[in-house]
C-alpha cells in the first residue's frame, strides 16, 4: 500500500498488551495444573489488604496451605508483616511501576516453594486505576473498599469494580464513626459491580471474616468450573 | 500511569514492523482504543512524547480511533451502547450486562518511509 509524500502504509493489526496476555494464560494453566486457586487482591492504598491477609493467614493456618505474592512500589514492609504467619511470601518491588503484570507474577511464582499453595493471594499495588487493566492469570478478583474511603469509590473507579468477583467492605467496625452510608454504598456497588458478591467485614474484630472464608472454600470447590476470567484485562476481547 | 507500559508495548510492536518492512522512519501510528479500556488518551500522548524521543517514531502523528462500548443486557437481551460504564439497560434498567466491544487496545497500522 502506498500513501502520499513517499511514505507507505504498513498494516499491523496487533493487540496491545498481547505480551501480558501470553504470560497471564501461561500463569493460569500453571495454577490450574497445580490445583492452586489464585486471587488478585485490589484496592486503594490503606484499604486494609495487608491486615485482611494477616488475619486470614492466621485464622486458616493448618486448614489450607496458603501463600502470598505482594506488590509494592518500594519497601518490603508488607511482606515482613505477612511472613510472621509462616506462610511463604514473595515480595515484588515494582520500583515506579503502578501495577503488577503477568510476567512479574510469573517470576515471583518461581520463588515460591513447590508444590504451590492451595490458595495464592496476590496483593496488588495499592491503586484503583492501573491494576484493573492487567490480567495476572488469577481465577478471582477481589476488590476492597474501606468504610473510611467514601461510598462513591465504586462509581469513581468503575473499571476496577466492574471486573471484581467479590467486593469486601473493610473496617466495618468503624462504619458508624466514619459516617458510612451503607445503603448508598450498596446502591453504588450494584451499579458498578453488578457481578460481584459483597461481604462486609472487619479484620480487626473478626466480624464477617467467616463469610469471607466460606466464600474462599466455595471458590476452591468451584475452581475451574465457571467463566470467571471472561471479564479480565483490557485489550483482550 | 499504566499508559507508559502500553506505549512501551506500542513502540516495540511499531519498531518490529518498521524493521520488517525496512523502513527508517515512522510518520503515523494508528490505534483503536475501546472506550472502556481504562486508558487515558492524554496520558497515552504524554507517554508517546517521552518514550518516542530518539527513536524512529519521534515526531510521528498518533491517530486514535475510539471504539464505543456495546453490551447485551443479561436480563432482557437488549443490545445497547451505554453512555458510561455505570449506565443501566435502557429497556429494563438492569445493570448486569455482557460487554461485546469497548475494551480494544490495538495497533492497526502505520505510515512509514
The reply to whether B72 touches chain A by the CB within 8 Å rule is no
Question: Which parts of chain A have pLDDT scores under 50?
Answer: 226-237
Print the SS3 string covering A165-219.
CEEEEECHHHCCCCCCCHHHHHHHHHHHCCCCEEEECCCCCCCCHHHHHHHHHHH
Predicted confidence (pLDDT) per residue in A175-210, tens digit: 999 999 999 999 999 999 999 999 999 999 999 999
Residue of A nearest to B113 (CA): A7
- Which pLDDT score, from 0 to 100, does residue A158 have? 87
Per the structure, the count of domains in chain B is 1
Among the partner-chain residues A6, A14, A237, the one whose CB lies closest to the CB of B13 is A14
List of residues 6+ apart from A62 with CB closer than 8 A: none
Do A10 and B13 lie within an 8 Å CB cutoff? no
Do A195 and B96 lie within an 8 Å CB cutoff? yes
Q: Where are the alpha helices (DSSP H) in chain A?
A: 18-33, 49-60, 77-83, 102-109, 153-156, 158-162, 182-192, 209-222
How far is B56 from chain A, CA to nearest CA, in Å? Answer: 14
Residue A201's φ and ψ, nearest 5 degrees, are -155, 170
> Can you tell me the distance from the alpha carbon of A190 to that of A206, in angstroms, rounded to the nearest whole number?
25
Q: What is the dihedral of CA B54, B11, B103, A146, to 10 degrees?
A: -60
Predicted confidence (pLDDT) per residue in B31-86, tens digit: 999 988 888 899 999 999 999 999 999 999 999 999 999 999 999 999 999 887 77
- Which pLDDT score, from 0 to 100, does residue A231 have? 44
Residue of A nearest to B7 (CA): A16
In the 8-state DSSP scheme, what is residue A231?
G
Share of chain B above pLDDT 90, in %: 76
- Which pLDDT score, from 0 to 100, does residue A3 have? 56
Which CATH number does the domain housing residue B41 bear?
Answer: 3.30.2320.80
Share of chain B above pLDDT 70, in %: 98
Do B21 and A133 lie within an 8 Å CB cutoff? no
Predicted confidence (pLDDT) per residue in A80-104, tens digit: 889 988 999 999 988 878 889 999 9
Here the ipTM equals 0.84
Closest C-alpha among A231, A225, A230, A232 to residue A32? A225
Cα radius of gyration rounded to whole Å, chain B: 17
Q: What residue numbers bound the domain in which B37 lies?
A: 3-112
Amino acid at each position: 500500500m502506498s500513501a502520499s509524500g513517499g511514505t507507505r502504509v504498513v498494516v499491523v493489526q496487533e493487540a496491545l498488551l498481547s505480551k501480558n496476555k501470553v504470560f497471564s494464560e501461561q500463569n493460569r494453566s500453571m495454577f490450574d495444573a497445580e490445583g492452586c486457586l489464585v486471587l488478585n487482591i485490589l484496592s486503594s492504598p490503606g484499604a486494609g489488604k495487608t491486615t485482611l491477609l494477616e488475619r486470614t493467614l492466621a485464622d486458616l493456618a493448618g486448614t489450607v496451605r496458603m501463600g502470598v505474592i505482594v506488590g509494592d512500589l518500594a519497601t518490603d514492609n508488607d511482606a515482613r508483616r505477612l511472613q510472621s504467619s509462616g506462610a511463604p511470601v514473595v515480595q515484588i518491588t515494582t520500583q515506579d511501576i503502578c501495577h503488577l503484570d503477568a510476567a512479574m507474577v510469573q517470576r515471583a511464582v518461581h520463588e515460591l516453594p513447590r508444590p504451590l499453595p492451595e490458595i495464592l493471594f496476590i496483593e496488588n499495588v495499592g491503586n484503583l486505576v492501573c491494576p484493573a487493566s492487567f490480567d495476572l492469570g488469577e481465577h478471582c478478583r477481589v476488590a476492597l473498599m474501606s468504610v473510611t474511603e467514601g461510598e462513591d469509590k465504586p462509581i469513581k473507579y468503575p473499571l476496577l469494580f466492574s471486573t471484581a468477583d467479590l467486593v469486601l467492605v473493610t473496617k466495618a467496625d468503624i462504619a458508624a464513626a466514619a459516617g458510612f452510608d451503607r445503603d448508598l454504598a450498596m446502591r453504588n456497588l450494584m451499579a458498578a459491580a453488578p457481578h460481584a458478591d459483597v461481604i462486609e467485614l472487619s479484620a480487626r474484630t473478626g466480624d464477617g471474616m467467616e463469610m469471607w472464608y466460606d466464600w474462599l472454600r466455595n471458590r476452591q470447590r468451584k475452581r475451574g468450573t465457571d467463566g470467571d476470567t471472561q471479564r479480565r484485562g483490557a485489550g483482550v476481547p | 500511569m499504566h499508559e507508559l507500559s502500553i506505549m512501551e508495548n506500542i513502540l516495540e510492536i511499531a519498531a518490529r514492523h518498521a524493521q520488517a518492512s525496512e523502513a527508517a522512519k515512522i510518520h503515523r501510528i494508528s490505534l483503536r482504543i475501546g472506550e472502556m479500556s481504562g486508558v487515558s488518551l492524554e496520558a497515552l500522548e504524554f507517554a508517546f512524547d517521552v518514550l518516542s524521543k530518539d527513536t524512529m517514531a519521534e515526531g510521528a502523528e498518533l491517530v486514535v480511533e475510539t471504539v464505543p462500548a456495546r453490551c447485551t443486557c443479561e436480563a432482557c437481551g437488549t443490545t445497547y451502547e451505554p453512555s458510561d460504564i455505570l449506565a443501566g439497560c435502557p429497556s429494563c434498567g438492569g445493570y448486569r450486562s455482557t460487554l461485546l466491544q469497548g475494551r480494544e487496545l490495538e495497533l492497526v497500522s502505520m505510515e512509514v518511509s
